[in-house]
Chains A and B, each alone.
Chain A
């Protein structure tokens, strides 16, 4: 199954390189088309795959550590609080390498606030968590709106960036994000068996030899680092991390040794396809920010989850 999915992913990568405002026939490409293919589309498609993988991986970690099937970078408030830091950094004209650092800091503050607000007597209540996520999203949106109002000169770039997309991609950015993904994936996969035990109640996990607090804290920080790096490079692309861990669990089981791999791969696949759609959906060469497409997919998926599994969610 792993091989089949990987083949589908490679085919999607190839197809996504060839489609867009103009379709390119690789067997009969002009020099200009070859430049577009290798200089623009290939890095962009690879970049969308890496960002999708980052969001899928972070979603898998958030859902497990927060014991909440609705958790992802968007619903936990991590993405919007990371975006808040990134927007302020951009608006204040800070050097570009500082943007992910500021995004990570505000992202962690946002996520830890949600965690604190939703924890009662050592138990994370899923309903409270979603409400706390809403609070963080609202506060972050308010500050971002203020930044848009106050820093008028940066308005258009902030708005465009916030919608989420892969408009400007270079190999340096791509390699940096790929490296971050690789390092975090190796770290998580090395802890996959331990992570499984976080699915138990806290005392059971502890009695099985897990330092629950430490593992959960490290997982939070690393997953939020993934989100912060993704958000500071592409803006908010929501719901990828919500959708793919669910699909992975229903197809390949809940074992994190499988779920981490499939959430990462399916996240990459989903975003490559969404970006291909964003580039081709409007006739005449214009393109949509990919965040619009994932938000639409995510909204529908959220609705499906609420309709089919309502009882379990609202009773924790």
Chain B
């Protein structure tokens, strides 16, 4: 595990511009990206893991990202996109196993790969769905399968774009607890501020493509959130609280 460093990152698409002068993410940090729709959360995530290219430099372990071959990058970063699909009827088991691809010789999965995949199925409560076709699952089940596929990559840095979208509250809790427990670095845009505050350590607040603040949990104030989202945010007990039975 090593740190991820960003210098003078700049990306433009139409009238949208994303600018990030300097950012260092240390190994094991749980970083959440907050911001309103269109503020650049997903774009930043895609730039950081190298599936989108902008100006500036991104370094992993002091090595520029462009110098790391795509196949090697897949052993460093894994990505759960906001919208993820699979065309053709693949089984849940197959989709999860494909997460082991970066660890194969390119031709076949080893017994070890299959064993690790099985553990992911158990961990994400998917064992009973293993033979079902991925395309026939509900939205929440698909999300969990894709998350299992991503965790199966066993990469030191995990990028999760709104991991809890389509998930019910029980599975949301389970997944955020799982993410929080893991040793890997996790970087994730999340919409629910309360969940973000509960399960992440570091908060990147984005507004119109600019980094408004980079703060710890203690520094995350209602004023900062008010400025980020253009709504009045106050602190206090939420209407409902939830935890495992």
Contact = CB atoms under 8 A, between A and B. Distances in A.
User: Are A and B bound to each other?
Assistant: yes
Given A209-B70, A209-B102, A193 B88 contact: no
A199 B88 contact: yes
Interface stretch (A4-12, A90-98, A179-187, A200-208): A200-208
B90 A193 contact: no
A208 B83 contact: no
B168 interface: no
Interface in B52-70: 70
B86 A200 contact: yes
Interface stretch (B15-23, B28-36, B74-82, B217-225): B74-82
Interface string B21-50: 000000000000000000000000010010
A299 B157 CA distance: 50
Interface string B77-104: 1110101111111110010001101101
A204 B84 contact: yes
B107 interface: yes
A143 B215 CA distance: 65
B51 A206 contact: yes
B166 to A, nearest CB: 16
B85 A208 contact: no
Given A199-B86, A208-B98, A253-B89, 10 more contacts: A193-B101, A194-B101, A200-B98, A204-B84, A207-B79, A249-B89, A254-B88, A254-B89, A254-B90, A254-B94
Given A197-B98, A208-B99, A203 B51 contact: yes
Contacts of B83: 201
B108 interface: yes
B51 A209 contact: no
Given A254-B89, A254-B90, A210 B108 contact: no
Given A207-B49, A211-B70, A199 B104 contact: no
Given A193-B107, A193-B108, A199-B90, A207 B51 contact: yes
B106 interface: yes
Contacts of B98: 196-197, 200, 208
A64 interface: yes
A64 B79 contact: no
Contacts of B81: 201, 203-204
Contacts of A203: 46, 51, 79, 81
Contacts of B49: 207
B73 interface: yes
8 contacts: A193-B101, A200-B84, A200-B86, A203-B51, A204-B149, A207-B77, A209-B75, A210-B101
Contacts of A202: 51
A253 B74 CA distance: 26
B110 interface: no
Nearest to A68: B87
Contacts of B72: 209
A33 interface: no
Contacts of A39: none
Contacts of B101: 193-194, 197, 208-210
A255 B93 CA distance: 12
Contact of A249 (B71, B78, B88, B146): B88
B14 to A, nearest CB: 12
Contacts of B153: 207-208
Interface in A206-226: 206-211
A64 B88 contact: yes
B85 A255 contact: no
Given A206-B51, A206-B70, A207-B79, A199 B87 contact: yes
B70 A201 contact: no
Interface string A236-277: 000000000000010001110000000000000000000000
A190 interface: yes
Contacts of A204: 79, 81, 84, 146, 149
Contact of B74 (A69, A207, A255): A207
A194 B70 CA distance: 13
What are the 7 closest A-B residue pairs judged by CB atoms, nearest first?
A209-B74, A207-B79, A254-B88, A209-B71, A209-B102, A203-B81, A67-B87
